[in-house]
Amino acid sequence: MPIDQDTLEALQLAARAGSDYRQRTVDAATTPVDSYAQVLARFAEPVPETGGVPTEIIADLIARADGGIRAMTGPRFFGWVIGSSHPTGVAADWLTSAWGQNAANVVAAPAACAVEAVVAGWVLDLLDLPRESSVGVVSGATVANTVCLAAARGEVLRRAGWDVEADGLFGAPEITVMIGADAHATVFSGLRYLGLGAKRVIEIATDSLGRMLASDLAERLESHSGPLIVIAQAGQINTGVSDPFAQIAPLVRKAGGWLHVDGAFGLWAAASSKHRHLVAGVEQADSWGTDGHKWLQTPYDGSFAIVRDEAAHRRAMSITASYLPGAAPSERDPTSYVMELSRRARGFAMWAMIRQLGRTGVAAMVEQDIAVAQAMAAGMAAIEGAELIAMPELNQFMVRFGDSDDLTRAVLAQVQEDAVAFIGGSEWRGQWVMRVSVCSIATTPEDGRITVDAVRAAWEKVRARG
C-alpha cells in the first residue's frame, strides 16, 4: 500500500516542528511550562472510537504538548544531569524510528547491529577502558548498572561453585555487597531487581564530599570471606567527586571480589587528558555503567553496560530460542549483553554523536562544562550570604543561601519562576541545597555568567521580602 500524501505530510510536519522547536529554544532560558495537571487536562479524554488523520493527529499532539515541554535542551538547564539531545543525535534518532529496526539480532537488523558493534569499540576507546570488554547498549545507567551487577552476581557465585543463571539464588552461597554510603539511589534499585537486597549491603564510609574511604573498605575486607561485589562510583550526583579507584581496585582484587563502577556521567572525565586523573585507576574495575544521554549528548535514551569478562556478561544476559537466528562467531550478537530482546536501535544516534564530536570534541565539551561549573561556583560563592559547599572538580556543585533550608528553597523557587535558568535542589548532609549540574554542550561561559546574575537577583528578591 503506498503511503498517502497526508501521512507523508505528517512526517514532514513532525520534522519541521522538531526543527522549529530547537531553533526557538537555542538560546532559551527555561521555557515556563504548564503544570502536569494542565497538560493532563488537555490530553485526558476517552479512547477515541474512530481513527484519525495523520497531519491532524500530529498537529494536535504539538498543540497539546507544547506548553508542557521543558527546555532541557537549552543552554541554561542545570536541573539534573541531562545532556542536550544534540540535533545530530536527534536526526539519527528520527531515522532510527523511521527505519523501525528491532536491534535484536544481526539477521533481522544488520545495520543496527553493525553500528552498535562499532560504537561499542569507540566507547571503550574514548573512555580508555579494557578493549576486550563487552558492551551492552541499554536504556539508561539504572539498567546498565543492573546488567553489570547481574554479570558480577553470576561470576562471583560461579567462582564459589554455584550456577545462579541455572539455579537461582535460593541455597546459593551468600554474596557480600559493599557500596559507598553516597551511591546513587538507582544502584540500590538494581540490587533489589537482582535479589541482592537494597538493605543487605555493607555501606562503606565516605568523606565530606561522598568519596568512598579506601581505609574503611580495607578494614571491612580484612574480616571478609566468600563471594564479594564492591560498588564504587565515578561522579557523585551532588558533588561530582569520584571514588579513589587506584586504591580501591587492588583491595577488591586481593579479596577475590568484583568491582563495579557506576559512572553514569563521571566516567566521561576519562575522555579528557586534562581531567582523566579524576578517575585514575577506573580501568582496573570489572564493570562500568555509563550514559550516552548525559555527557555524550545523545537523545533519550541510551547507555552502556560494559563488562571486562565477556563470558560473564553473556552468561548473565544471553537469550536463545530456535526461532531466533544466532550470530556467527565473527558477528556480535547484541542481545547477549542486554536485558531486552526487542530493542530500539540506539546505536545509530550514538554513532552519529561520536561522529559529530570526535575524540577532541568530546574532550573539549567535558573541559568546557567543568570550566563553566567552576566559574559559576566561584561566581555564586562571591554572592553575599551564599555558601558554596565545595568548589567542583567536575560538573556538579551545591550552594546554600542564608542559614536555613527555607531561604535556600525560596531562592530556588524564585530562580525557577524568573525562568532565566532552571536549577534544582537536593539534600546534602541534612541540609537543603541548590544543586547545579553542568552537562550540556549548549552551555557557554556566558550562560554561566547570566545564570550567576539570575541567582543573585533571585536571592536579592528573597531577602527584600524579608
Interaction site with ligand PLP (CB under 6 A): 81, 140-142, 184, 186, 233, 235, 237, 262, 264-265, 291, 303
SS3 231: strand
Q: Take residue 149 and report the three cell numbers written for it.
A: 551487577
Q: Take residue 18 and report the three cell numbers written for it.
A: 522538531
Question: Which of 142, 178, 16, 22 shows the shortest CA–CA distance to 88?
Answer: 22
Beta strand ranges found along 41-132 (DSSP E): none
Q: Are 291 and 264 in contact (CB under 8 A)?
A: yes
* Minimum gap (Å) between residue 189 Cβ and ligand PLP: 9
* Minimum gap (Å) between residue 237 Cβ and ligand PLP: 5
- Between CA 78 and CA 452 the distance in angstroms is 12
* Angle of CA points 416, 82, 148, to nearest 5°: 140
In 182-318, alpha helices (H):
185-193, 214-222, 245-254, 310-317
* Minimum gap (Å) between residue 210 Cβ and ligand PLP: 10
Cβ proximity to ligand PLP: between 190 and 379 the closer is: 190
* Minimum gap (Å) between residue 68 Cβ and ligand PLP: 20
* Minimum gap (Å) between residue 207 Cβ and ligand PLP: 17
* Minimum gap (Å) between residue 235 Cβ and ligand PLP: 5
User: What single letter denotes the amino acid at residue 112?
Assistant: A
Cβ proximity to ligand PLP: between 86 and 315 the closer is: 86
Question: Which of 278, 339, 375, 341 shows the shortest CA–CA distance to 145?
Answer: 339
Cβ proximity to ligand PLP: between 184 and 275 the closer is: 184
Question: Which of 466, 446, 463 shows the shortest CA–CA distance to 29?
Answer: 446
* Minimum gap (Å) between residue 139 Cβ and ligand PLP: 7
- DSSP 3-state helix, strand, coil percentages of the chain (rounded to 5)? 45, 15, 40
SS3 203: strand
Cβ proximity to ligand PLP: between 325 and 424 the closer is: 424
- Between CA 60 and CA 114 the distance in angstroms is 37
Question: How many residues are given for the chain?
Answer: 466
Cβ proximity to ligand PLP: between 60 and 301 the closer is: 301
Cβ proximity to ligand PLP: between 207 and 387 the closer is: 207
Cβ proximity to ligand PLP: between 291 and 333 the closer is: 291
What letter does residue 173 receive in the DSSP assignment? P
With the C-alpha atoms ordered 135, 136, 139, 144, is the resulting torsion angle positive or negative?
Answer: negative
Q: Are 305 and 147 in contact (CB under 8 A)?
A: yes
What letter does residue 226 receive in the DSSP assignment? S
**Residue with the shortest CB distance to ligand PLP:** 140
Cβ proximity to ligand PLP: between 84 and 186 the closer is: 186
Cβ proximity to ligand PLP: between 140 and 347 the closer is: 140
* Minimum gap (Å) between residue 424 Cβ and ligand PLP: 11
* Minimum gap (Å) between residue 170 Cβ and ligand PLP: 29
Q: Are 357 and 119 in contact (CB under 8 A)?
A: no
